[in-house]
């Protein structure tokens, strides 16, 4: 095992962020579920805030 589920999720998110442009819609479904509620919420907050600053519309579904 080279990386954890968490690190795989961050790598995927990084690729998406590198390729998404303003006025796009980003849909999250249970992202960061491999962390605990507090850590997942903080990471999601940082990612969503950065996207909103770039005028990316965000739709987030969570089961926390």
Domain membership of residue 39 (yes or no) is yes
The whole-number pLDDT of residue 6 equals: 82
Domain membership of residue 29 (yes or no) is yes
Q: Which domain holds residue 35?
A: 5-11+22-61
Domain membership of residue 30 (yes or no) is yes
Task: Name the maximum alpha-carbon separation found in the chain.
Answer: 37
Domain membership of residue 17 (yes or no) is no
Q: Which residues of 26-55 are buried (b: 16+ CB within 10 A; e: fewer)?
A: bebeebbeebeeeebeebbeebbeebeeee
Q: How confident is the model at residue 2 (pLDDT cuts 50, 70, 90)?
A: low
Task: Please state, in angstroms and rounded to a whole number, the distance separating the CA atoms of residues 37 and 30.
Answer: 11
pLDDT digits (tens, 9 = 90+) for 18-62: 899 998 998 888 777 778 888 888 888 898 898 899 899 998 776
The whole-number pLDDT of residue 32 equals: 74
Structural domain total, the chain: 1
The whole-number pLDDT of residue 1 equals: 52
Domain membership of residue 16 (yes or no) is no
């Amino acid at each position: 095992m080279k990386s954890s589920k968490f690190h795989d999720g961050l790598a995927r998110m990084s690729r998406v962020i590198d390729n998404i442009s303003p006025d796009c819609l980003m849909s999250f479904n249970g992202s960061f579920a491999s962390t605990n509620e507090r850590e997942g919420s903080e990471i999601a907050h940082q990612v969503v805030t950065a996207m909103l600053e770039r005028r990316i519309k965000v739709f987030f579904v969570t089961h926390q």
